Amino acid sequence: MTETIFSKIIRKEIPAAILYEDELSLAFRDVNPQAPVHFLVIPKKPIINLSDATEADQSLLGHLLLVANKVATQEGLTGFRLVTNNGAEAGQTVFHLHIHVLGGRSLNWPPG
């Protein structure tokens, strides 16, 4: 996997507004928020996107969802949306798996 801004954030080479961290994951505020509350949850393990996850990542993927819920609760969100872009065609710009958590306002559907 190539170096990304997220790998630099994980190593603390670039500052980020970290909301949560454990041995498997990191959650931090998005620098270009699309909602009043917008943060990212990333695995510390370098996985390019969801398509590159394997059966061995099953527990890690579930962990990321639980972290998203935990941080959303800490942020006072009762309703929120999770978004994971998979590939450039879907709008992925950082090629390190990440979950966007958006909330703090009414979110329209369909999102695209």
Amino acid, single-letter form, for residue 13 = E
Annotated domain spans of the chain:
5-103
Regarding the domain delimited by 5-103, which CATH topology (the fold level of the hierarchy) does it fall under? HIT family, subunit A (3.30.428)
In this prediction, residue 110 carries a pLDDT of: 87
Annotated catalytic residues are 98
Spatial separation of the C-alpha atoms in residues 91 and 22, rounded to whole Å: 27
- pLDDT beneath 70, residues of the chain: 1, 112
Spatial separation of the C-alpha atoms in residues 41 and 18, rounded to whole Å: 10
